[in-house]
Structure 1
Amino acid sequence: MAKIVLLENIHPSAREVFTAAGFTDIVTYNSALPPDALQEAIRDADVVGIRSRTQMDKAAFEAARKVRVVGCFCIGTNQVDLTTAMESGIPVFNAPFSNTRSVAELVLAEAILLLRRIPEKNLRVHQGHWDKTANGSFEARGKTLGIIGYGNIGSQIGTLGEQLGMRVIFHDVEAKLPLGNARAYDLPTLLAESDVVTLHVPGGRSTENIMDEGTLSMMKRGAILINASRGTVVDIDALRAALDTGHISGAALDVFPVEPKGVDEPLVSPLIGLPNVILTPHIGGSTMESQENIGREVAEKLVRFVLSGTTKGAVNFPELPYQEPAGTARILHVHRNVPGALAQLNSLFADAKLNIVSQQLQTKGPVGFVLTDIGDAPSPDMIEKLKSHPITVRCDVL
């Protein structure tokens, strides 16, 4: 039975899923590990589960030759060398949907708090001031909510925003079907019309500092900026300047260009100490409900892969949906994506007089993945021929 190593205090719901599926060799760690310790911890693991701090780089994969699959118990996968994983025949799974509600609720809560100037009012009361003025405080109803990035989270925020009575507009680089009364806008128009702008875009070069001095200046004077996506999408110095001039009336950030690596390491940012800025420690998806959902979602994907070879939902790998086993054995074969690869594979089955009962193939980039059910159990010699064939990246038998 497969050995499972889980790092970073993954929710117990994941263990429940593994245990229910019959897996008993489960090792857990409460935190991320430094490179040497990580390599030792996963050296004989078949399944590795991580969150955002564990760095599964090339060295980690090279040290853990037994690893068959990696699960990211979070949305992002930037902490994994996806190319090395793919080229090693290792699918990587994540949880793109399980914490969307938690992030959406935080964003809307921050929008309401900033519209009402609650962070400032709260601080003033703690300092001994009883300032009841309504100046600069507004209802969310009737305001325009501009969403940059209309994916799983952005669209849900739009739906909830409409329920508050907000007008919802969005911008996305891809054509998206609007939900409710939301409308698609070009970026300059969205920035000019929105009372609240919230960012929900992926990381990477294409989104680096999309909110810089130029785009911040396009925003409606007195508007609010919220970023719960990636720390690199906002030019923090430019945001500080826009807050100092009053062009931006408030901001809320849950992510930062450089984040502390531990509980006791302070955040270093020019936004520290501003009374009209909410700073949270990357906890947009950190609710008990979302962590439980993430634990179950990713663990179920890992179980389906280990037991049946299902790769639907993998972020770096050819996707094959679940198919009921139809033969005596199921062979999972990852090969170099070259012409004639399937023919070469099936020739080996024919030479061994093994009947193919069912077969699925999908390719992605440099690799192809074939899931083959055969009528009789393959001999050790046959498996060795499959594993040593020049086109083979990885081969496992279920």
Structure 2
Amino acid sequence: MIKRILVLEKNHPFIIYKLKKEGFICDENYYDSTDKIDISVYDGVILRSRLKIDKKFIKKAKNLKFIARIGSGIENIDKDYASKKGITLISSPEGNKDAVAEHAIGMLLCIMNHIIPSHQQIKKGKWDRENNRGMEIMGKTIGIIGYGNTGKAFAKKLSGFDARILCYDILPKIGDTYAMQVDMNTIFKKSDVISLHVPYTKETKGMINYNFIKKFYKPFYLINTSRGGCVLTNHLVKALRNGKIYGACLDVLEYENFSFENIFHYHKLSKNFFDLIHSNKVVLTPHVAGWTQESKSKMDKKIVEKILLLNKLLIEKTIIQNPHAPDNYQNSYR
């Protein structure tokens, strides 16, 4: 069962309050590196993006039963080794799916209707209606790549726009009333807009490259609210220049690291990056698609729910293995 939990991220008082109320011991460490943390005494770890939980760190975790990441991705955790050690991985994609979906639609409306450049022009005294004539979502075909929590939320919120919505996923039979599941060739052939909702894995790293882009039958708009490393910046810039991509909505960039720090401190920023950020065909936001007041609360609640459920399952498993345990055993740590 779970007794003692280490919290590695600031600004999540609800999680600590609720877990302590349930009888767990919660320690906080917001500054030390993994080398300085004695993880051996803990049954669980809660973090967001401050640290990378690698094999070396997990090896020292003799009692660890779970690693919980506040958010949707778990790429800063060595999930294969954690699984090998029998450690449960917890995340909270249900908590920010609606925020990501709304943000993606907002960025798409901005890029298709020239909202940002026309706003900037007016502030400079320029009134240009014809060159800022927009396009409607209605009647377009939207291709969603990755149909999990955020992909489904995006499709649902798009349903009122009278667009045709297609989805592709490596899992079969997950299409629904909001999106028809198709193969990638259909996505290439039909899509006017592509929205990425995939985890960052070996398979998705650099998946949006020029060879991929060339397979589309017509130019399209690209939305990426998943992970920056899924899109190769130099290939995207090339496609924007030659018209293979009409415009790009990017909440994430290839240059981010696991902790999502200020990318302008990154010493390997290339010319392509600066071409991207100065392009009037691109809308950029600083990895905030899932970062709303509401999503923070929902993700915190979801993390607590999953930890409590895991603890319940562990207790039940222990009782089955030890049928002679006292009657109050189940509640001894609550």
- The answer, yes or no, to whether TM exceeds 0.5 is yes
Question: What is the aligned length?
Answer: 319
- Structure 1 residue runs without a partner (length 5+): 311-322, 324-329, 332-357, 360-371, 378-396
How far has the Cα of 1:166 moved from its partner? 1.5
- Of 177, 181, 192 in structure 2, the residue corresponding to residue 184 of structure 1 is 181
The amino acid that maps onto 2:16 is R
Residue 355 of structure 1 corresponds to none
Distance across 2 between alignment mates of 1:185 and 1:83: 30
More helix by share: 2
How far has the Cα of 1:308 moved from its partner? 4.7
8 Å CA contact 1:93, 1:298 repeated in 2? yes
Residue 57 of structure 2 corresponds to 60
How far has the Cα of 1:50 moved from its partner? 0.7
The change in CA–CA distance for 1:154 and 1:375 in structure 2 (over 3 A counts) is same
Residue 5 of structure 1 corresponds to 6
- Structure 2 residue runs without a partner (length 5+): 327-331
Distance across 1 between alignment mates of 2:150 and 2:116: 25
Residue 329 of structure 2 corresponds to none
Deviations 1:317-364 (A, max 9, x none): xxxxxx5xxxxxx63xxxxxxxxxxxxxxxxxxxxxxxxxx63xxxxx
8 Å CA contact 1:254, 1:282 repeated in 2? yes
Deviations 1:83-114 (A, max 9, x none): 33234343222223221111111111111111
Q: Work out whether 1:92 is the aligned partner of 2:89.
A: yes
The amino acid that maps onto 1:36 is D
Residue 26 of structure 1 corresponds to 26
* Aligned partner of residue 98 in structure 1, secondary structure: helix
8 Å CA contact 1:148, 1:199 repeated in 2? yes
Distance across 2 between alignment mates of 1:262 and 1:232: 12
Distance across 1 between alignment mates of 2:170 and 2:59: 37
How far has the Cα of 1:181 moved from its partner? 5.3
Q: Work out whether 1:375 is the aligned partner of 2:324.
A: yes
Distance across 1 between alignment mates of 2:71 and 2:130: 42
1:290-309 aligned at under 5 Å gives the runs: 290-306=295-311, 308-309=313-314
Deviations 1:170-194 (A, max 9, x none): 2223323432253233323323322
1:206-355 aligned at under 5 Å gives the runs: 206-219=203-216, 221-260=218-257, 261=259, 263-266=261-264, 268=269, 269-270=273-274, 271-306=276-311, 308-309=313-314, 323=316, 331=318
Normalised to the residue count of structure 1, the TM-score between the two structures is: 0.72
The change in CA–CA distance for 1:250 and 1:28 in structure 2 (over 3 A counts) is same
Which protein has greater RCO, CA pairs closer than 8 Å, 6+ apart?
2
Following TM superposition, the consecutive aligned residue runs of length 4 or more in structure 1 with deviations greater than 4 angstroms are 260-265
The change in CA–CA distance for 1:286 and 1:213 in structure 2 (over 3 A counts) is same
Give % identity: 28
Cα RMSD (Å) of the superposition?
2.7
- Of 117, 137, 147 in structure 2, the residue corresponding to residue 150 of structure 1 is 147
Normalised to the residue count of structure 2, the TM-score between the two structures is: 0.84
8 Å CA contact 1:53, 1:79 repeated in 2? no
The change in CA–CA distance for 1:249 and 1:119 in structure 2 (over 3 A counts) is farther
1:78-89 aligned at under 5 Å gives the runs: 78-89=75-86
Distance across 2 between alignment mates of 1:236 and 1:60: 32
More strand by share: 1
